[in-house]
């Protein structure tokens, strides 16, 4: 453990950081999964808070805040579970492969890592994420069932992949250049998770918007 001089708060942060590094060395996948789940929960919580602040144009004119939606804990648990069980392990092994395939940290190697990440992984992981959030959200959060649930989730993933991928490319190429160039290999998933708080918020908002659209469609059909 490093000896850090400073205030008790600084020492506490340094000790926590050292413990986190030791945990990464001993249990890399588990540590990254728990971290990703925490970040995923934070992203969904932020998304729900933003949704509660949204008001209709009529309510804006009348100065009426409108009804407040209750906080959806099932949705938060679902998103956190997805991040911890799927996203973090995939990222761990993907980054490990990239670091072995392009071990240097010069800009040529970094550019190759980013190109692989954004042109191979992103177009694969984004539709998979959208499909899971739509299917699991409708089934476990909204409590819906039916033979068309799987087909509907595939349709939503297909329709939303384009705009989500474009949004991804406005954020992640630059973030990954910084990540692969300056961040230690074992901390790269953590860096991506921290940058991903805003991204996870966006994904959660997209998933919630799709669920709301589906609910309105089913209500009209009834």
**If pLDDT is split at 50, 70 and 90, which confidence band does 50 have?**
confident
Give the residue-averaged pLDDT of 149-158: 91
Question: Residue 6 in contact with residue 164, Cβ under 8 Å?
Answer: no
Q: What is the pLDDT of residues 17-37, one digit of tens each?
A: 999 999 999 999 999 999 999
Tell me what pLDDT residue 2 has: 53
| SS3 track for 133-155 | HHHHHHHHHCCCCCCCHHHHHHH
Q: What is the pLDDT of residues 96-148, one digit of tens each?
A: 999 999 999 999 999 999 999 999 999 999 999 999 988 998 888 777 777 78
Euclidean distance between CA atoms 81 and 165, whole angstroms? 22
Average pLDDT, the chain: 84
User: Is residue 60's pLDDT more than 60?
Assistant: no
Q: What is the pLDDT of residues 2-19, one digit of tens each?
A: 555 667 888 888 899 999
Q: In this structure, what is the dihedral angle of CA atoms 114, 119, 122, 126, given to the nearest 10 degrees?
A: 160
Give the residue-averaged pLDDT of 200-220: 62
Name the residue ranges covered by the structural domains of the chain: 8-221
The candidate with the shortest Cα–Cα distance to 91, out of 113, 64, 63, 68, is 113
User: Is residue 221's pLDDT more than 60?
Assistant: no
Give the residue-averaged pLDDT of 90-98: 97
The percentage of the chain sitting over the pLDDT mark of 90, rounded to a whole number, equals 51
Tell me what pLDDT residue 141 has: 78
């Amino acid at each position: 453990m490093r000896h850090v001089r400073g205030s008790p708060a600084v020492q506490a942060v340094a000790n926590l950081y050292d413990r986190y590094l030791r945990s990464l060395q001993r249990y890399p996948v588990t540590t990254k999964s728990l971290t990703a789940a925490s970040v995923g929960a934070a992203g969904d919580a932020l998304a729900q808070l933003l949704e509660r602040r949204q008001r209709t144009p009529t309510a804006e004119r009348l100065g009426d805040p409108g009804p407040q939606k209750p906080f959806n804990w099932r949705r938060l648990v679902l998103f956190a579970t997805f991040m911890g069980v799927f996203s973090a392990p995939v990222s761990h092994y993907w980054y490990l492969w990239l670091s072995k395939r392009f071990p240097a940290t010069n800009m040529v190697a970094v550019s190759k890592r980013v190109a692989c990440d954004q042109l191979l992984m992103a177009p694969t992981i984004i539709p998979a994420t959208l499909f899971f959030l739509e299917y699991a959200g409708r089934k476990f959060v909204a409590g819906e069932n039916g033979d068309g649930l799987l087909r509907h989730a595939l349709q939503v993933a297909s329709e939303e992949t384009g705009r989500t991928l474009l949004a991804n490319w406005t954020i992640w190429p630059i973030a990954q250049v910084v990540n692969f160039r300056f961040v230690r290999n074992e901390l790269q998933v953590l860096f991506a998770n921290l940058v991903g708080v805003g991204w996870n918020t966006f994904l959660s908002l997209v998933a919630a918007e799709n669920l709301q659209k589906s609910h309105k469609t089913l209500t009209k059909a009834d």
